[in-house]
Amino acid sequence: MPSALHFRTIADLAAALDAKQLTSVELTQAVIARTQAVEPRVHAFNSFDVSDALAQAAASDARRAAGQARGALDGIPIGLKDVIAVTGQPLTASSKMLQNFVSPYDATVTTKLKQAGAVLWGRLNCDEFAMGSSTENSAFGPTGNPWDTTRVPGGSSGGSSAALAAGEAIATLGSDTGGSIRQPAALCGVVGLKPSYGLVSRYGLIAFASSLDQIGPFARTVEDAAIVLGAIAGHDERDSTSFKTDIPDYRAALTINRGPWKLGIPKEYFAEGLDPEIAASVEQAIAFYKAQGCEIREVSLPHTQYCLDTYYVIATAEASSNLGRYDGIRYGHRSTAAKDAVDIYAQSRAEGFGPEVKRRIILGTYVLSSGYYDAYYLRAQKVRTLIRQDFLHAFRDVDALLTPTSPVPAFKLGEKADPLSLYLCDIYTIGVNLAGLPAISVPCGFTKSGLPIGAQLIGQPFQESNLLAIAHAYERAHEWSAQHPAL
């Protein structure tokens, strides 16, 4: 039986649109109806604009009727995390600080999706300023995991993963600073890709930690992720970290590159704290590649134990600097209780930011302060170099690394109340950001209680074609992506 429209893939829907079996307006209406039906239980969106989406869909249909369709994304509803700017739409970062902010401009990824003809659909919930691993830090309330709405969807891009898993969008974009695309993808049973640092422009992305932030796609399949990546990647002079590199046809690469590959299994990623059902599913994925003729090698990333500490020094330092602009004067909420000019800063920030954001700003200000800079920030930068060297060393012998994405499946809302237990969820994803590498989470099974499990493949810098091909080989031999939550 074919899936409902809202659960189909970009590749499949694009073919139906081209064959005139379907219009973008019909597809967009189906996604809107699905969203309206399930959103009270999922709460993946901070806001959406039905008439704007239908107008974009009608424009796409008009293009297609005139023989001017722009490719696979033309007419496909795609949701954006609420940290990515879209002209005339709210841009809140799920913070009271930006509650009433409307973006006056488009992010580069937004411009590129518009040029590709995508129907931009909704503003997706996340942890406030992308700080968190559960979407519970949103000022507008948490998102539920579509597989069990009493559980978290992961984070910080939990709205992006949940909306996709629930059929409220056909693909979505998120941002990943320490795992915020891959971890929620794993917890919601979808594909999530964090590109190499520098591949996708961050112009128009609300900055969290600028040396780590990347934008990337959530999709139902690796092929769909390849399609979206192809549309958003590429050099942009408005992001000085954007890399000048040719963008290959990622979709075509899926079938050209057939392996067999050499895969490394980092022994530090299978240590204490890993859920046994997740370990077993990832072991099965390893066995699959082995059966395909891939060479499997154990490798070591000896500085893994320092990843978390290093990340939480660097990320908070950069956040404290980036969030300085939200002071009630340049940007953001302005307190009406302030008594004088200095008080405007203090009161506006006290009222506008939530507890986790404040914790990070205080930590980050501390590690940058004079007398502590060398002991914390500079030392973290040195350890970061060692962490990156671990990966590059491993890549002398292997094409990619295979690991679990998250040590635990989706946990209950409210279960991880102390910050440290949440930070530990990032243990397998953070090293990739510190090293600037591409990595993808692909569904690789379910727990006995029916919660999705993800496997992470980590690739060499700018070798997304290879990475996607390796992931695709696994995915097409399994049925995980064809399963959807009952809701």
Contacts of residue 55, defined as CB under 8 A and 6 or more positions apart, other chains included, come to none
CB of 131 to ligand GLN, least distance (A): 5
* Cα(289)–Cα(474) distance, integer angstroms: 7
Q: Pick from 160, 180, 201, 347: which binds ligand GLN (CB under 6 A)? A: 180
- Window contacting ligand GLN (CB under 6 A); options: 128-136, 184-192, 373-381, 468-476: 128-136
Under the binding rule (CB under 6 A), the answer on residue 456 touching ligand GLN is no
Under the binding rule (CB under 6 A), the answer on residue 179 touching ligand GLN is yes
Q: Which is nearer to ligand GLN, 131 or 199 (CB)?
A: 131
The residues that bridge with 391 in the sheet, in sequence order, are none
SS3 of residue 446 by DSSP: strand
- Window contacting ligand GLN (CB under 6 A); options: 175-183, 245-253, 408-416, 435-443: 175-183
User: Residue type at 2?
Assistant: P
* Cα(395)–Cα(39) distance, integer angstroms: 43
CB of 315 to ligand GLN, least distance (A): 5
Place of tokens 């060297």: 389
* Cα(433)–Cα(172) distance, integer angstroms: 20
Under the binding rule (CB under 6 A), the answer on residue 432 touching ligand GLN is no
Residues numbered 154-173 forming contacts with ligand GLN, rule: CB under 6 A: 156
Q: Pick from 24, 60, 108, 133: which binds ligand GLN (CB under 6 A)? A: 133
Q: Which is nearer to ligand GLN, 140 or 423 (CB)?
A: 423
Q: Which is nearer to ligand GLN, 216 or 266 (CB)?
A: 216
Kindly report the CA angle at 183 between 87 and 194, in degrees rounded to 5?
55
* Cα(318)–Cα(89) distance, integer angstroms: 27
290 is catalytic: no
Task: Please report which helix (H) or strand (E) contains residue 314, including its range.
Answer: helix 307-322
Q: Pick from 78, 91, 98, 130: which binds ligand GLN (CB under 6 A)? A: 130
For the chain, the maximum distance between any two Cα atoms, rounded to a whole number of angstroms, is 71
Instruction: State how far Cα 376 lies from the chain centre.
Output: 28
Count of residues in contact with ligand GLN, rule CB under 6 A: 13
Q: What is the DSSP letter of 332?
A: S
Under the binding rule (CB under 6 A), the answer on residue 363 touching ligand GLN is no
180 is catalytic: yes
Q: Pick from 125, 135, 177, 465: which binds ligand GLN (CB under 6 A)? A: 177
Residues numbered 402-431 forming contacts with ligand GLN, rule: CB under 6 A: 426
DSSP string covering 35-95:
HHHHHHHH--EEE--HHHHHHHHHHHHHHHHTT---STTTT-EEEEETTB--TTSB--TT-
Q: Which is nearer to ligand GLN, 445 or 459 (CB)?
A: 459
- Window contacting ligand GLN (CB under 6 A); options: 125-133, 292-300, 376-384, 445-453: 125-133
Catalytic residue among 94, 134, 156, 242: 156
Q: Pick from 79, 146, 158, 178: which binds ligand GLN (CB under 6 A)? A: 178
Bond prior to 276 in cis (omega within 30° of 0): no
The residues that bridge with 79 in the sheet, in sequence order, are 172
Under the binding rule (CB under 6 A), the answer on residue 176 touching ligand GLN is yes
Q: Which is nearer to ligand GLN, 75 or 178 (CB)?
A: 178
Place of tokens 């390849």: 226
* Cα(320)–Cα(209) distance, integer angstroms: 9
Q: How far apart are the first and last CA of the chain?
A: 19
CB of 421 to ligand GLN, least distance (A): 12
Q: Pick from 75, 132, 328, 352: which binds ligand GLN (CB under 6 A)? A: 132
CB of 178 to ligand GLN, least distance (A): 3
412 is catalytic: no
By beta-carbon distance, which residue lies closest to ligand GLN?
180
Kindly report the CA angle at 423 between 422 and 424, in degrees rounded to 5?
90
Q: Which is nearer to ligand GLN, 111 or 180 (CB)?
A: 180
Under the binding rule (CB under 6 A), the answer on residue 128 touching ligand GLN is no
Q: Which is nearer to ligand GLN, 261 or 376 (CB)?
A: 376
CB of 292 to ligand GLN, least distance (A): 31
| Binding-site string for ligand GLN from residue 195 to residue 234, where x marks contact by CB under 6 A and - marks none | -------------x--------------------------
CB of 408 to ligand GLN, least distance (A): 13
Edge-to-edge strands of the sheet including 400-404?
45-47, 119-124, 77-81, 171-176, 214-219, 191-194, 439-446, 452-459, 400-404, 262-266, 295-299
Comparing CA positions, the residue from 180, 217, 192, 196 lying closest to residue 423 is 180
Taken in order 5, 10, 11, 13, the sign of the CA dihedral is: positive
Residues numbered 341-360 forming contacts with ligand GLN, rule: CB under 6 A: none
CB of 303 to ligand GLN, least distance (A): 19
Positions marked catalytic: 81, 156, 180
Site of interaction with ligand GLN (CB under 6 A)? 130-133, 156, 176-180, 208, 315, 426
